[in-house]
Structure 1
């Protein structure tokens, strides 16, 4: 078994091999996809965006993810081989909001024939930027984690649908059909979340996380993010900050602290031990459950997992979420670097 700590290095090595193979293939513009598409090459960054794109384009285009799952997407520096993939790209989708700047810069330098889209910048007006614990306003980088909110995931899907349809109008109806099916599933997820979160004891919809990936989600669904342990420099917090968090957790009787599978934290274990709160370390914001090809390895599976984990951790039940169908709406043939 590969340990989580060794996974990022191995992922980058595997990514380089996969991208070299992709770069050595035939010219994407001349290829014909199995579903009758144009053979477009669509490059994406983090896995949730890759999953949403794959649901929209199905078998009409090749989707290639760049940022390995289980990697800190804020600090990921793409290996040189990614440039070759960018050169083949017809469309590049990045989250934007300054999440993956090295990858965006590489796209600008190498994807000369591609349409490059910063999805987050497209769907979120600057007036609605959220700055918080992990993303202070003085650093100039807003919280970029829109996709943990289903209402924004639907907007992401709309941007992807419109972009690919403009590039490949012959398959526009196919993309629209998949988009509408995705909207229906994302809406069902949202409805199930709203129903199940009412089972959490009154006043209990509070999140203390390691990495603040739920700011927009919290605003939309009426949750309160009371703190994030990880500072904006991605280092562990100072002792005085830990002491403040311990006092706050005790004062507000927070029952569970949510860590991150991507960011293991001895600090959260220490805080939990000092406060009596339970430490739940499996939340994930851009690391899809399971492995590529698994039924729940998708944006839908990711968000259902996180919502169930949060609601159950806070004393609620998740009957509606558990019953949800989170299967993809189109064949997911995307390349997900691991």
Structure 2
């Protein structure tokens, strides 16, 4: 009899506990992974721009407004990355709190625009994690200690990852620490870790390079003896392959820039992404 009563209580409690989870929307896959690491099983998480998708040119789907309307928190990167999102939040009539995970980060500038790719620096991601933990705790004070513990555990992993990257870069000869990538997604990585990135596209994949831009990059590859060009998982690879063909420079592989891969890909999490990228860079440059 006691077993039957206990089973009944568990059946009643489980849906209630699930219903109490904090409903959170993250704008894109990299940010969603950070939120998942802090929120754990105390949140219900929805991602708008999924794996291998380009947040710069995303067009909201009809169901996105419904997801935003149901959310308590909407966590965004900011720095101009999600230009389509304010209108979506407004059209959804959402009362959700919009949290900018990059708050507190001094943005790099490319011309007059802020470079939104702040997650490419692991020290910046430590700020993201702190901002996310603070927002989750404010929205759900009962689970604040849980979110704090989750954040601390994840920050330790990020500290280890940061050391790995620095140690790997040191092994690359200084004169070979320069590559071509599709768009300017790696400015923060370059500033933090000392690898020079040159890109035919600007900070957004929406822009189209001119023939003059491409010619200038081809000239730069030859003049600076840039050893490798890289594709990106979210971008059309024809432009980079054309540059590689015209210069004879090898394609060093694919870098993960603005979106994680699916579960079966090489970078389903942020930590996987950074490890994949540094492995690809060192393999192409370290000889």
Q: TM-score, normalised by structure 2?
A: 0.88
Equivalent of residue 305 in structure 1, options 272, 276, 286? 276
Deviation at 1:281, TM superposition (A): 4.6
Matched position secondary structure for 2:98: strand
- C-alpha change, 1:205 and 1:145, in structure 2 (3 Å) is same
Question: Could you list the per-position Cα deviations for residues 247-301 of structure 1 after superposition, in whole angstroms to 9, with x for gaps in the alignment?
Answer: 1101111110112121123221121122121123511213324427x89521111
Q: Are the equivalent residues in 2 in contact too, given 1:47–1:65 (CA < 8 A)?
A: yes
Deviation at 1:163, TM superposition (A): 0.6
Task: Please tell me whether Structure 1 or Structure 2 has the larger radius of gyration of its CA atoms.
Answer: 2
Aligned counterpart, 1:179: 151
Equivalent of residue 130 in structure 1, options 86, 108, 122? 108
Moved more, 69-78 or 180-189: 69-78
Equivalent of residue 125 in structure 2, options 115, 136, 153? 153
Runs of 4+ in structure 1 off by over 3 angstroms are none
Deviation at 1:233, TM superposition (A): 6.7
Give the alignment of 1:167-246 within 5 angstroms. Answer: 167-225=139-197, 227-231=198-202, 234-246=206-218
- Provide the rounded CA distance (Å) in 1 between the counterparts of 2:201 and 2:128: 27
Deviation at 1:53, TM superposition (A): 0.2
Equivalent of residue 237 in structure 2, options 257, 260, 265? 265
Mind listing any 5+ residue stretches in structure 1 that lack a counterpart?
1-29, 317-338
Aligned counterpart, 1:163: 135
Aligned counterpart, 1:97: 79
Q: Are the equivalent residues in 1 in contact too, given 2:253–2:280 (CA < 8 A)?
A: no
Report the number of matched residues.
272
- Provide the rounded CA distance (Å) in 1 between the counterparts of 2:35 and 2:16: 19
Aligned counterpart, 1:82: 64
- C-alpha change, 1:296 and 1:236, in structure 2 (3 Å) is closer
Aligned counterpart, 1:3: none
Write 1 or 2 for the structure with the bigger share of helix. 2
Deviation at 1:90, TM superposition (A): 0.5
Query: CA-atom RMSD, angstroms?
Result: 2.1
Q: Are the equivalent residues in 1 in contact too, given 2:52–2:262 (CA < 8 A)?
A: no
Q: Are the equivalent residues in 2 in contact too, given 1:51–1:298 (CA < 8 A)?
A: yes
Q: Name which structure has the greater RCO, CA cutoff 8 Å, separation 6+.
A: 1
Mind listing any 5+ residue stretches in structure 2 that lack a counterpart?
1-14
Matched position secondary structure for 1:123: coil
Aligned counterpart, 2:219: 247
Matched position secondary structure for 1:264: coil
Q: Are the equivalent residues in 1 in contact too, given 2:183–2:200 (CA < 8 A)?
A: yes
